[in-house]
Amino acid sequence: MNIRAIRGATCLERDDAAEMADAVTELLREVMSRNSIEPDDLISVLFTSTPDLHSAFPAAAARGVGLSDVPLICAQEIDVTGAMERVVRVMVQVQTSKARSEIKHVYLRGAEALRQDIAQ
């Protein structure tokens, strides 16, 4: 069994708690589905959000999809001039038998522009 990190991101149209919950839920479900990950495979999840998002913690949405016993943490992205706005990023640490080259990183709702080299 290997420990791997899976990256992903999603964009919000506005700073809204309901939209945050929907976008993060969608992102987590896609990361888990595309990589055949079960909740027991998760080690921890790190979320970051851009400084313009204040309405909710991304981790609250993860709790809402049943990740109640997985360590979660939120942090703020550095405020870089000209960077994409209203972005939630995630790094999911998992136990998996997949090789690093088999990992599918997930970018949704316009966030594909952030990492066109690895977006699936």
| Token pair 């970018």 in the structure block, residue | 107
CB count, 10 Å around CB of 2? 11
Annotated catalytic residue: which of 7, 19, 86, 109? 7
Annotated catalytic residue: which of 4, 19, 107, 109? 107
The verdict on whether 4 is a catalytic residue reads: no
Contact 110, 38 (CB under 8 A): no
Annotated catalytic residue: which of 26, 30, 74, 112? 74
The verdict on whether 77 is a catalytic residue reads: yes
Annotated catalytic residue: which of 26, 30, 77, 112? 77
The verdict on whether 14 is a catalytic residue reads: no
Cβ within 8 Å of residue 35, ≥6 positions away: 6, 94, 96, 98, 103, 104
Give the integer Cα–Cα distance in Å for 96 and 110: 28
The verdict on whether 29 is a catalytic residue reads: no
Residues forming a β-bridge with 2: 96
Closest CA to 87 of 38, 14, 4: 14
The verdict on whether 7 is a catalytic residue reads: yes
The verdict on whether 74 is a catalytic residue reads: yes
The verdict on whether 107 is a catalytic residue reads: yes
Annotated catalytic residue: which of 29, 63, 85, 102? 63
Catalytic residues: 7, 63, 74, 77, 89, 107, 115
